[in-house]
Chain A
Amino acid sequence: MEVLIYLVPMALLLGLSGLAAFMWSLKSGQYDDVQGAAVRVLFDDDMRK
């Protein structure tokens, strides 16, 4: 069962990176306009400037 020594920290690390990604998305305001984001994805020219 020595493999657990590597596997468990790896699993935790993956989980933590998911958490970090969520925190980043929250901080960068990606949840401020949820309905807008859903329709903006359909625009062709959403990368102005």
Chain B
Amino acid sequence: MAETLDLTIYVKRQDDGTAHLDLAIEGIDCAACIDEIEGGLCKLPGVVDARLNYTNHRLAVEWRDGQMSPAAVVEELRRLGYRAHPFKSRLVEEEEDRRAKWLLKCLAVAGFASMNIMLLAVSVWSGNVTDITPETRDFFHWLAALIALPAVAYAGQPFFQSAMGALRNRRTNMDVPIVIGILLALSMSVVETINSAEHTYFDSVVMLLFFLLCGRYLDQAMRRKTRAVASNLASFRTEVAHRIEENGEIALMPTAALNSGDRVLVRPGERISVDGIVISGSSDIDESLVTGETAHRAVMVDSQVYAGSMNYNGTLTLTVRAAGKGTLLDEVERLLENAATAKSRYVQLADRVAKIYAPVVHTAAAITAVTWIVTGASVHDALLTAIAVLIITCPCALALAVPVVQVVASGALFRAGVFLNAGDVFERLARVDTVVFDKTGTLTLPTMSVVNAVDLHPDLLKAASRLALSSHHPLATAVAQMASDCRPYDDATEEPGCGVRAVVDGREMRLGSPAFCDAQVLADQAVASDPFASVIAFSWGEEQIVLLVRQALRPDAAAIVQQLRQRGLDCRILSGDRPEAVAPIAAALGIALWRGGCKPADKIAMLEDLKAEGRKVLMVGDGLNDAPALASAHVSLSPISAADLTQAQADAVFLGDRLRPVLSTIEIACRAHRLMRQNLGIALIYNLIAVPLAFLGFVTPLVAALAMSGSSSLVTLNALRARGRASKPIPEAPPSHPVPAAQGA
């Protein structure tokens, strides 16, 4: 690779004269890689430090500024056998890292406090039934207060902030009753301590905090892990472009370094990586990954082109620019805005429960107080019992019921190769009854492949695919993928607009257009059998074959659609491609309801119609044209190959060449949703037993501690079932096909 990528925008210059670069590394599979990478880089002149994070496969390199170029680091890594991709940590991820650290600190404080207070509390409980003196008990209570008050003030912050946020927006969430319970229990315990009473609830309060923080931290940790892998994958796909500098030189740049107005060169066979306007040249481009349309579009000067299109036969010069009026991008952005405002905020299951739960609990406490006063108890006793009701109902199990299931289920999804973007996906996925697929890039693979390989003579196919290695044409690339022998033929020459040729074993070999290979008759027959495939011909001496190239269905598409239908889901196709091209796909999958030629607005309209019928739609799509539909669907999925804008709209992203993750996602979500409801049920039964006991005044601190930890453990154990049959082997997600750095535009 003669060209080197200009990485300067990723380099951070530091005050002490060193430069810093973060890289995501592909190909780390064992611990020995750490030493190999760090040791290898430290031998480079000028490198001050290289540190590999083995957990998230990121490498931080520091060198004395000016002594070497960042490209040397990447080159050295390539020599060692690793692919390095410049990595820019996203703001969201840094924010999550900070929050995870903060939660861990709160958890540590709550853990320390609950251990020490429990030490004091157990002494008091056992002393109360034996011979503790009131002085010792008071001393212990004061000590417990001394530990509990600062600990709660610190470790309770996540809950206080969330509850305040909800109240300020005039909503309630699960944290509101938690905070009320904590504050009341604390203040009552302080009052009781001052009055030298027998019982305080400091231990219950800090234990409650500890349990809840465990749930929060696990939830956060799972999401962080998913996000780290997802952003590594995103940086593996770093797009590059050939920028034409002021002086006419061409430099390979990451697209992130391009500004509006820069000129970019796109050669034949390269994927266009920027949105822009053609300023010179003309070509045919394949926009199937953008619009779903598989027929090529002719572009000339002043045409708008989109990132993700494949340039076929001409060299283009583009100016980079944001969307203009009336272009597809403009329409997509406008529709996205509408979809975002129209989408009613989905209220999460736990918050819906909290909305009913909080008033009921608070009324129960009030009724308790009133009843006790009416039946002749003192106001002090009545208040004590009422507060005991609040403490015992403080929704410890309830607040753990949903997050713990989410943690376990997103772990299961992670292993199935699905990354979540949104936290409440499970609840929405579980209610899906209709699945709408996009065709191009979703049901079919995003790359081209030879569809009639089985009908061809294996030797000729082998020769054709090896010859194809020497061509840059996109169709030839599809043929080259099948090459078992990855050494291109010597002296192969490419004839622009025709194909490639080489002389092998004394006979001339040609790969290219049917006319170039003298195979027009064969080609006409082939086209008649499959009118939507592109034809590429191959000849070797007198022998000729014709290869049909098009986007093939994902290998398991038919089986998965079949299984989805068996689950009672209604499957449909909405495609931007021509109806004639959609029909055979729909027939192959046995899908009766399909539509082709849909513009982004048509897709939204169709989804709105389905919504009006009361259906909950799962939209699976990848093109830029699908982004608005994904945003307006009840829940959405997209393959990792999707356009960036589209991926950002999807609730989850799946890896690999198969459609299986769609089915796994629905299965795991249904199981998770069932467990969430079971857990809420367990929490409810616990309350039904505990509240009457508290009402009658039987709840001592010991009972409260037992009840709380018991119900929390039960809920957590039940949530672990969301892992499913762990023995079922789920194949490791295959690495996404990284685009070679030089390909791009």
Give the interface of A toward B (CB within 8 A): 1, 4, 8, 11-12, 15-16, 18-19, 22-23, 26, 31-36, 39-40, 42-43, 48
B139–A4 touching, CB < 8 Å = yes
Give the interface of B toward A (CB within 8 A): 31, 34-35, 38, 42, 52-56, 101, 104-105, 108-109, 112, 115-116, 119-120, 133, 136, 139, 143, 147
Q: Which residues of B contact A33 (CB under 8 A)?
A: 53-56
- With A1-B136, A18-B112, A42-B31 known as contacts, the answer to whether A11 contacts B55 (CB < 8 A) is no
A15–B115 touching, CB < 8 Å = yes
The complex places the Cα of A1 from the Cα of B140 at a distance, in Å, of: 12
The complex places the Cα of A43 from the Cα of B38 at a distance, in Å, of: 12
Would you give 10 A-B contacts (Cβ < 8 Å), ordered by A? A4-B139, A8-B120, A11-B119, A12-B143, A16-B112, A18-B112, A23-B108, A26-B101, A43-B34, A48-B42
A23–B105 touching, CB < 8 Å = yes
The distance from the CB of B293 to the nearest CB of chain A, in whole angstroms, is: 45
Within 8 Å by CB of A32, from B31, B38, B53, B115, lies B53
- What are the 7 A-B residue pairs with the smallest beta carbon separation, nearest first? A36-B54, A39-B31, A33-B53, A19-B112, A35-B55, A33-B55, A35-B54
Within 8 Å by CB of A39, from B34, B116, B120, lies B34
The complex places the Cα of A46 from the Cα of B101 at a distance, in Å, of: 26
Q: Which residues of A contact B105 (CB under 8 A)?
A: 23, 26
Q: Which residues of A contact B52 (CB under 8 A)?
A: 36
The complex places the Cα of A39 from the Cα of B38 at a distance, in Å, of: 14
Q: Which residues of A contact B143 (CB under 8 A)?
A: 8, 12
Q: Which residues of A contact B56 (CB under 8 A)?
A: 33
Interface of A is mostly: helix
The distance from the CB of A31 to the nearest CB of chain B, in whole angstroms, is: 7
- With A4-B136, A8-B143 known as contacts, the answer to whether A15 contacts B116 (CB < 8 A) is yes
B133–A36 touching, CB < 8 Å = no
The distance from the CB of A3 to the nearest CB of chain B, in whole angstroms, is: 11
The complex places the Cα of A34 from the Cα of B221 at a distance, in Å, of: 13
B55–A36 touching, CB < 8 Å = yes
A1–B109 touching, CB < 8 Å = no
A22–B116 touching, CB < 8 Å = no
The complex places the Cα of A42 from the Cα of B54 at a distance, in Å, of: 14
The complex places the Cα of A7 from the Cα of B702 at a distance, in Å, of: 24
The distance from the CB of A5 to the nearest CB of chain B, in whole angstroms, is: 9
B53–A31 touching, CB < 8 Å = no
Q: Which residues of B contact A22 (CB under 8 A)?
A: 108
Q: Which residues of A contact B147 (CB under 8 A)?
A: 12
Q: Which residues of B contact A42 (CB under 8 A)?
A: 31
Measured CB to CB, the nearest residue on chain B to A22 is B108
The complex places the Cα of A28 from the Cα of B735 at a distance, in Å, of: 33
The complex places the Cα of A48 from the Cα of B55 at a distance, in Å, of: 21
- With A15-B115, A48-B42 known as contacts, the answer to whether A40 contacts B34 (CB < 8 A) is yes
The complex places the Cα of A49 from the Cα of B426 at a distance, in Å, of: 50
Measured CB to CB, the nearest residue on chain B to A48 is B42
The complex places the Cα of A34 from the Cα of B119 at a distance, in Å, of: 31
Within 8 Å by CB of A26, from B31, B104, B136, lies B104
Known contacts A16-B112, A36-B52, A43-B35; 7 additional CB pairs below 8 A are A8-B139, A11-B116, A18-B112, A19-B109, A22-B108, A23-B108, A32-B53
The complex places the Cα of A35 from the Cα of B53 at a distance, in Å, of: 8
The distance from the CB of B22 to the nearest CB of chain A, in whole angstroms, is: 13
The complex places the Cα of A12 from the Cα of B120 at a distance, in Å, of: 11
Q: Which residues of A contact B112 (CB under 8 A)?
A: 15-16, 18-19
The complex places the Cα of A48 from the Cα of B740 at a distance, in Å, of: 34
The complex places the Cα of A6 from the Cα of B147 at a distance, in Å, of: 17
The complex places the Cα of A16 from the Cα of B105 at a distance, in Å, of: 13
Within 8 Å by CB of A1, from B53, B54, B108, B133, lies B133
The complex places the Cα of A43 from the Cα of B36 at a distance, in Å, of: 12
Q: Which residues of A contact B55 (CB under 8 A)?
A: 32-36
Q: Which residues of A contact B101 (CB under 8 A)?
A: 26
The complex places the Cα of A3 from the Cα of B115 at a distance, in Å, of: 21
The complex places the Cα of A36 from the Cα of B35 at a distance, in Å, of: 11
Measured CB to CB, the nearest residue on chain A to B116 is A15
The complex places the Cα of A31 from the Cα of B115 at a distance, in Å, of: 23
The distance from the CB of B29 to the nearest CB of chain A, in whole angstroms, is: 13
B53–A36 touching, CB < 8 Å = yes
